[in-house]
Structure 1
């Protein structure tokens, strides 16, 4: 039996308040995903090295390799135990509840501007800043074209949003769905960050947060299941702990 260290409040609620059944949707070295029969949502079981996130349960293991979890393994809940076939039993009896709560937009804009300058300097020292970076050494013509499309489409989206043309921005946001490399494509990652900003209370875009729902309506058929679930939660302001820490900073 493995102890759950922490878990998203919505995930714990779904386990406690319903007959939670499903199957293993996908597996990775540090996580595996469960698809729930009752609501069709994806839920993530993650090792202790990862941060908290929406629909995520952190368990007391270093990786998932030794558990030999496989796609389509059945999942069920009995009282405070989550069973993954006969391979893994997870106790949520003493789990710490985590909740995704975004910060409130600051009243003092001067402090915000100074912090943004510091953040950009920090990013430039430790990584590469500037949103979606252009792939300067593409492996082939396809990669080069995708990189160009990401740059052009994000720029078009920026321009519409900065000029308060929210309805005109919508098709440009939709054009980013599923675009780019990665399990969660680069375009989807960009939109996840954008949705976070729309959902910060008192931010300039907070009154227009229905924009996120408008993009989400198109997302189901334009990206993969895992990325769609990330966008679905981000559309209502539910994002990973690491993103919230960044926004707080």
Structure 2
């Protein structure tokens, strides 16, 4: 059995490994991540060191470069401050730094004009980029199927946003079922859009409490209608947390002054997955736009 060193981890995951008899099993494996489902049904992730921090995630050095063969349903458990993966690997966490998603405060109303201008700049950059799927589709290179999904995503999401703006929350809950799970992929584009929307509604001092509560009330329905990997990201977004690069982008958008830094952080978000980054970004911008318009 080989021992690996961890670089950083979310505070709750490190605490679970250190202080409890934590048990689970491998749920799924990918090139740079391994997902673990614990006995409570919650999903945790071992990630390659080049990835950014995220909720329920432990970043580990060398693990994916010299990857041991790990099969789905391999037992995973904590033992004496280490995370054990069957009889194949032990991950040491003593040197891991704790990571917390930053508290992000929604801007005050006197800053709305500035935020609107920064969003206009983001939209100009997005038009220039060649995106290939989901909400940000380059139609010249798209297949007929991709174009059809693109139209459906926008139609269903725009209707959801209309209901939310008008505070027709019962209708919005019904419409949510037309967005969740929409689109291909492990995390469908509709789900990723909702992650972005949730991250705006759950910012600190968000001005419309009813929208935050609507999200919380939607968790049971969301869990029924998508897979556990996608739901895990949604659930964390509803709790106000996401990958590190998303938090850095939102803080830069709301409070930064450097146009170059904003573009770099936007591109970092767009680099998430195949289309997930663009879909999450679309949801965040839609949530901000809805909020600014509702204040008029």
- TM-score, with structure 1 as normaliser: 0.89
**Any unmatched runs of 5+ in structure 2?**
253-296
| Equivalent-residue separation in structure 1 for 2:248 and 2:241 (angstroms) | 13
Q: 2: CA distance between counterparts of 1:75 and 1:64?
A: 20
Aligned to 2:100: 99
Q: Which moved more, 1:101-110 or 1:41-50?
A: 101-110
What corresponds to 1:17 in structure 2? 19
Using the alignment, how far apart are the partners of 1:109 and 1:51 within structure 2?
Answer: 30
Which stretches of structure 1, 4 residues or more, deviate above 6 A after TM superposition? none
- Cα distance, 1:177–1:48 mapped onto 2, change above 3 Å: same
- Tell me the equivalent position of 1:35: 37
8 Å Cα contact 2:18-2:82 kept in structure 1: no
Matched residue, 2:81: 80
What secondary structure is seen at the aligned counterpart in 2 of 1:156?
Answer: helix
Matches of 2:148 and 2:120, distance apart in 1? 32
Range with greater deviation from structure 2 (164-173 or 152-161): 164-173
In structure 1, the residue matched to 2:205 is 202
Greater mean alpha carbon deviation, residues 119-128 or residues 63-72: 119-128
Return the alpha-carbon distance in structure 1 between the equivalents of residues 155 and 126 of structure 2.
Answer: 23
| Count of equivalent residues | 246
Structure 1 contact 29–64 (Cα < 8 Å) conserved: no
Compute the TM-score of the two structures, normalised by the length of structure 2.
0.76
The whole-number CA distance in structure 2 between the counterparts of 1:174 and 1:216 is: 12
Q: Name the CA shift for 1:92/1:117 in 2 (closer, same or farther; >3 Å).
A: same
How big is the alpha-carbon RMSD for the aligned residues of Structure 1 and Structure 2?
2.3
Q: Following the alignment from structure 2 to structure 1, what is the Cα–Cα distance between the partners of residues 170 and 193? A: 19
Identify the match of residue 150 of structure 2 among 142, 147, 152: 147
- Gap regions ≥5 residues in structure 1: none
Structure that is richer in helix per residue: 2
Do the aligned partners of 1:30 and 1:64 also contact (CA within 8 Å) in 2?
Answer: no
Distance between the aligned counterparts of 2:156 and 2:136, measured in 1? Answer: 13
Residue among 211, 214, 234 paired with 2:237:
234
Q: Which moved more, 1:60-69 or 1:41-50?
A: 60-69
1:138 maps to which residue?
143
How far did residue 206 of structure 1 move?
Answer: 4.3
